[in-house]
Amino acid sequence: TTGQFYSRRFVMTYPNEQLPAGRPLNKAPVHDAMKAAGALWGVSWGLEVPLVFAPEGFEETPTLKRSNAFELVAEECRAVRESVGLLDISGFSRYEVTGWDAEAWLDRTMAGRLPKPGRVRLSPMLAPDGRLKGDLTILNWGDGAWWIMGSYYLREWHMRWFHDRLDPTRDGDVQVRDISDATVGFSLSGPKSRDVLAALTHEDVSHEALPFMSCRPMDVGLIRAKVGRLSVAGELGYEINCPAAAHVTLREMLLEAGKAAGIREYGYYALNSLRLEKSFGIWSAEFTQGYTPGMTGLDRWIAFGKGDFVGREAALAEREKNTAPQRLVTLEVDSPDADASGFEPVWLRGRRVGFITSGGYGHIVGKSLAMALVEPEFAEPGTALRTHIVGVEREAAVIPVSPYDPPGEKMRM
């Protein structure tokens, strides 16, 4: 990697460019099967992750504008929105928390309210100064075991933080284990995803039996899996977690069961488009350790009345005094051939009032979308702004959150 760095010091780098040095370092069990299916690869903390699935011989062209993978990504997005898509989620982190005092420890460590048995909740995790340490998903399996799911590339950082929060005098029996290498899985998303899952299990997966934001262990084929009903894509969906040894078999079963529904594998390019259409932020873009809950909108997940937790005093002061210097908004950008990638300035009448955190094309809504942090007085929908995309000044407008399915009804079907 050192040789690659020095040889490229004066070479143009593109946001969609993949560099080869030091790769592949880590591969999911299904890597070779997905490679044979046409996966093109990115990398997350050393793990190869699928970006898009392409025909044999296809190579994505490095560019500052929309690449030649644009239509392939559009097809993957349509599959998820109209039928069913399958995404490898080996690149999600998973931590298991156990012990008699696990619930009390989690309640102090997480800013959100914990889920009841068999349920799932989203929760920010805060530093003592009220800034973000994570945007996490908490799953209560109902058997004494809890899971925390988050960003794969933050694994060591989060494990240090978790261990630093363990107090031997009151958390002596609490154990936090990183199970991200041993447990992998797939996200099954789309209006036909329930039909695919139902074909592989004898258990009731109806909306009444497995409602939105619920979780439970179940047999999927011959695999004992842990299934959560949630979806980053904003559709009816399930995250199906399994032992790494069963990863290849799970993929084969899901693809076979989904044939009649038109199942299609998709990658993280499509996921970026789908989550932007829902105004779902991600870590390292909308959420970082330099931002606060009030800036990012994560304060809506904080349970201020539940009792003490790390960062409560600072987060409550920000809320009561309304001191967040910026607000996270969704923008529609008038750009015909390029999309924001992050840190583009946002202007109003020649003054910089914010910056873009991430962007991309919303293939279903047919718009160039971005998320941005702007000064609070310019955060109202309808506010006309301007930004620069690849050096060209473009009109942008603040729009209501979630340009696709604003009520979120499709996730709750």
pLDDT at 14 over 90: yes
Counts for the chain of helices (H) and strands (E), in that order: 10, 19
pLDDT in tens, 363-394: 999 999 999 999 999 999 999 999 999 999 99
Residue 5 has pLDDT above 80, yes or no: no
Quick check: 1 pLDDT over 90?
A: no
Mean pLDDT over residues 177-206, rounded?
99
Burial class (CB in 10 A: 0-12, 13-18, 19+), 80: buried
pLDDT > 70 in the chain, percent: 100
Give residue 138's pLDDT band: very low, low, confident or very high (50, 70, 90).
Answer: very high
Does pLDDT of 9 surpass 90?
no
User: Which pLDDT score is estimated for 8?
Assistant: 85
CA 165 to chain centre: 25
Query: Smallest Cα–Cα separation from 227: which of 256, 266, 193, 267?
Result: 193
pLDDT, averaged across the chain: 98
Confidence of residue 2 (pLDDT cuts 50, 70, 90): confident
Q: What domains does the chain contain, in order, with CATH numbers? A: 1-91+180-281 (3.30.1360.120), 92-178 (3.30.70.1400), 325-402 (2.40.30.110)
What pLDDT score was predicted for residue 341?
Answer: 96
The Cβ-side half-sphere exposure at 147, using a 13 Å CA radius, reads: 24
pLDDT on residue 121: 99
Confidence of residue 105 (pLDDT cuts 50, 70, 90): very high
Model confidence over 225-276: pLDDT tens digits?
999 999 999 999 999 999 999 999 999 999 999 999 999 999 999 999 999 9
Residue 10: pLDDT band (50, 70, 90) is confident
In one-letter notation, the amino acid at residue 379 is A
CA distance 77 to 83: 10
Residue 112 has pLDDT above 80, yes or no: yes
Tell me the C-alpha distance between 292 and 315, whole Å: 8
Weakest mean pLDDT among 9-13, 297-301, 328-332: 9-13
Crossing angle between the packed helical segments 155-165 and 102-109, to the nearest 10 degrees:
110
> 3-state class of 285 per DSSP?
coil
Q: Which residues of 358-368 are buried (b: 16+ CB within 10 A; e: fewer)?
A: bbbbbbbbebb
- How many CB atoms within 10 Å of residue 312? 19
- pLDDT of 316 > 80? The answer is yes
